[in-house]
Structure 1
């Protein structure tokens, strides 16, 4: 029987660092800093749970504690049980703080972030989750400047997300993709085309005008408003001059149909007969 040969392991030599561009020093990878504020990093699970339960501090300070509890094995239902924060709210807080961190690492003015420190700030930032970094910065600035609530922020984010997909549509080139207000204005501009009544169309165009930022967008909306107003006047004038036909209403007495052997319903009038046809026809016959 052959004896087993000893297995030797050798350390694989590490690969040399990638060449750096001329004039730049190579910098090794460093893990990202902990998402927790400094004052929370030394706390145990019980202390973190207590902070979440009592909402101690700003929302973006205690929101990362949810992630640390999840890493420790807590599930969303168990976190809800010990903190009172529902699973939906947990997700909203975690996503909102990620959006906030992306704004911090971008060109967004840090002074404007204080607008989102209030309790509803997480709801506002959560609506921007589907936007890319550049879109988030522009949309967040628009939310601050216009003092949008959650519903308005949601509408703005959807408009910014949808605008590039509308390339080639009528009027699209007059609006700027870099301006969230123009994106929102184009949404109302497009919806005005789908309005059934002239009043609804003009109302949608007025909302578009309020949201528009660039002169090109405002000019295009003004042209559309003039067309809508002109069509509305023509509709009113045409309606006033049209001939009206009065159609009498025949109401059957209770039990009248039940006592009849046969009931025949005849048309009120034929097309083109007008009032004369209405007055000279029998509406129903009982046999």
Structure 2
């Protein structure tokens, strides 16, 4: 007798079948990444896709699970700004590497650096690309034999070279730095701004300077603006690379102790000077040095009435106030407010040094926050700040067209010959020299100037390299 085999073992008990469930069965959810959303023109109302409520996926239909028409999921990419435009996802910026090195693998890039294949400014970007991939200067040196100092010099020099490629710098001169000694020359220009780098590079090419000479030139151009008010400074042109270098040597000659040591520096200054006013000032100094060496009595030159007086003129630095251990809150008066506002501005009444609480004798609307510089701290109780819209109204020639704050002491009103004072003329607050006021018969002013504060200056184009070991 034949028997049929069952897939389930026999059971002695009654068998019960599982009743069918009336609930809908749970289906497996599929999710799809939408790379593009195409919205053709025309179609439905506001808030609905123009093509009848269906999302058209690349490589899929419009309805069902495969097409995603009833999934209810929002696309991961934002819709285009207007119908008919294809949404463009983010693309990384183009590679900074030259075309010849862009498709090289890691081993080939290391070989290029190891064998110095190509021009230095062409393979210098390879160093930056390796750094972005996790290489350290030490690991690059181990693989290529290029020291960390050389790596830094090449990277910075290539950035300086790229900054010189502009309308201000002749294209035929850039090839002067293509030789292997070019990085040493360009590296010294890293602390100059874009305009100064152009002038320094032209001067270096014209004079065939070596790295040491370029370093002296760059330092003199960087230091020149900081020497405002020094003797002879106004005779030299700040926009001339030769004048900046000539003034640095001119200043060294004046710092020499022995008179015979002054002449070599003055001769070197005369060799690079470019403007006629600067040349005349150096020649005058040479004549005085020769007369002194001959034993003649030489009168000191009269002070330039347009030169900056001995009043501190400081420029704020971004973040300086936040890093200062002591800050001052001083009342501000506009130049159009008149001398009455200077007297009405509040004065410091009481100070709690431990908690930093300051009380004033009256309310005021405008205040200035300044670092606790020593000259300002000394007059904090009677200090007032005058806001000038144009710094060129200051009574010295080196003033620039920029807003400035003049910190003045209201306690010192008596005019003396060497001082700088705030007073009212023509309904406006002005700053004048004491000797000029005495010549006009004015013996009392509103306040004496303590210091002049200039706004921070952007120097984003300065290239600074890391000093790698």
Matches within 5 A, 1:18-167: 33-105=94-166, 107-167=168-228
Does structure 1 residue 196 correspond to structure 2 residue 196?
no
Within the candidate set 269, 278, 286, 1:225 is matched to 286
Within the candidate set 224, 236, 245, 1:175 is matched to 236
**How far apart are the structure 2 equivalents of 1:69 and 1:115?**
28
Does structure 1 residue 206 correspond to structure 2 residue 267?
yes
The DSSP-based 3-state class of the residue aligned with 1:63 is helix
Cα drift, residue 32 of structure 1: 6.0
Cα drift, residue 105 of structure 1: 3.7
- 5+ residue gaps, structure 1, are 1-7, 17-28, 236-287
Cα drift, residue 106 of structure 1: 5.1
Deviation per CA, 1:28-65, whole angstroms, max 9, x where unpaired?
Answer: x9976532111111111110100000001110011110
**How far apart are the structure 1 equivalents of 2:95 and 2:199?**
27
Deviation per CA, 1:71-101, whole angstroms, max 9, x where unpaired?
Answer: 1111100000010100011001000000001
Cα drift, residue 211 of structure 1: 1.1
More displaced stretch, 180-189 vs 100-109: 100-109
**How far apart are the structure 1 equivalents of 2:164 and 2:79?**
36
Deviation per CA, 1:158-192, whole angstroms, max 9, x where unpaired?
Answer: 00000111111111111011110100000000011
Matches within 5 A, 1:234-249: 234=295
The DSSP-based 3-state class of the residue aligned with 2:104 is coil
**How far apart are the structure 2 equivalents of 1:30 and 1:175?**
50
**Aligned residue pairs: how many?**
218
Residue 3 of structure 1 is matched in structure 2 by none
Residue 365 of structure 2 is matched in structure 1 by none
Deviation per CA, 1:227-261, whole angstroms, max 9, x where unpaired?
Answer: 000001007xxxxxxxxxxxxxxxxxxxxxxxxxx
Cα drift, residue 9 of structure 1: 6.8
Cα drift, residue 197 of structure 1: 1.1
Q: 1:12 to 1:51 in 2, by over 3 A?
A: closer
Report if aligned partners of 1:106, 1:133 keep a CA contact under 8 Å in 2. no
- 5+ residue gaps, structure 2, are 1-72, 82-89, 297-469
**How far apart are the structure 2 equivalents of 1:226 and 1:209?**
12
Cα drift, residue 15 of structure 1: 11
The DSSP-based 3-state class of the residue aligned with 1:69 is helix
Q: 1:126 to 1:106 in 2, by over 3 A?
A: farther
TM-score by length of 2: 0.44
**How far apart are the structure 2 equivalents of 1:14 and 1:106?**
41
**How far apart are the structure 2 equivalents of 1:206 and 1:102?**
34
Report if aligned partners of 1:106, 1:137 keep a CA contact under 8 Å in 2. no
**How far apart are the structure 2 equivalents of 1:127 and 1:15?**
49
Cα drift, residue 103 of structure 1: 0.6
Q: 1:130 to 1:30 in 2, by over 3 A?
A: farther
**How far apart are the structure 2 equivalents of 1:85 and 1:72?**
17
